[in-house]
Amino acid sequence: MVFIRDPCGIACLIVTYGAVFYADYVVMRWIILTTMPVSIWAPFHVVLFNTVVFLLGMSHAKAVFSDPGIVPLPANRIDFSDMHTTNKNNPAGNGHSSEWTVCTRCETYRPPRAHHCRICKRCIRRMDHHCPWINNCVGERNQKYFLQFLIYVGILSLYSLVLIVASWVSPCEECNQNVIESQLRMIHSVILLLESALFGLFVTAIMVDQLHAILYDETAVEAIQQKGTYRPNRRKYQLLADVFGRGHPALWLLPCTSLNHASRYHDTPLLSHDV
Ligand SMILES: [Zn+2]
Ligand SMILES: [Zn+2]
């Protein structure tokens, strides 16, 4: 389990939890309880909305506390004074020597596509970017949970918008509401409408970026460094399975560990140079 002590990341976590709890409060108290107390749809929406909240919380917690793919530090300090000869010696031993790089900050060799994160202060396998909203890096081992989190925020935003608009379009005639209650409901509805629109658009934009990065096999870091083009073309399904696991696609949205989740580089042995 990892937890990064970054004030910006911790503030973003608090904002995220606050926004989700507020959405749940407004939908339960001011939309379902107030506008559909006698409707048969009320229990259906209570269960479905809270299920999405639960899955959102699960995927977020997994993204926050999972190891994004931290490259272990070597047991002994590595002497880089003979780097020019070491490169020729093929440190990976598998024909990928040119893709293995040296991190002078971690003082270690790192596998292909790993990059150093200044906030996590470690090298991360297939690092995409450091995301303050999960207070963690998005890397090889937690990108699946990050994507699930984005998808559930998107679903929750859309669901909230639909419920708010429905409560305005077909108001409850038999509900006995006083003026203050009605005004409070309107204020909370407008705030949630703005929140849902804002977060919905935000996660949609990030999701498009993430899917582009996965399907074109180029992380955000590599896109900046223009390093993604040397890789052979692979099928889009395989690229998605690298992130979401080898299980059936129907299971890809479940925020649990897929047992047969194996990526190309998971089994690459790390170096332990004794100097
Ligand atoms: Zn590093
Ligand atoms: Zn990081």
Q: Report pLDDT for 81.
A: 62
Is 131 in the active site? yes
Q: Report pLDDT for 47.
A: 97
Q: For residues 177 and 151, what is the distance between their CA atoms, to the nearest angstrom? A: 35
Is 11 inside a domain boundary?
yes
* Count of the separate structural domains present in the chain: 1
Mean pLDDT by runs of 10 across the 275 residues of the chain is 90 96 96 88 95 96 94 78 50 51 89 92 93 94 94 97 93 79 93 97 95 86 71 81 85 73 47 45
Task: Name the residue range of residue 245's domain.
Answer: 7-71+128-251
Is 256 inside a domain boundary?
no
Spacing, Cα 209 to ligand 1 middle (Å): 25
Catalytic residue among 117, 120, 123, 131: 131
Is 48 inside a domain boundary?
yes
Is 14 inside a domain boundary?
yes
Nearest ligand (C-alpha, residue 142): 2
Q: Report pLDDT for 96.
A: 42
From the DSSP assignment, how many helices (H) and strands (E) are in the chain? 8, 6
Is 56 inside a domain boundary?
yes
Spacing, Cα 77 to ligand 2 middle (Å): 23
Spacing, Cα 166 to ligand 1 middle (Å): 51
Is 79 inside a domain boundary?
no
Q: Report pLDDT for 227.
A: 65
Query: With helix as H, strand as E and coil as C, how does 111-160 read?
Result: CCCCEEECCCCEEECCCCEEECCCCEEECCCCHHHHHHHHHHHHHHHHHH
Nearest ligand (C-alpha, residue 116): 1
Q: Report pLDDT for 272.
A: 47
Is 271 inside a domain boundary?
no
Spacing, Cα 250 to ligand 1 middle (Å): 36
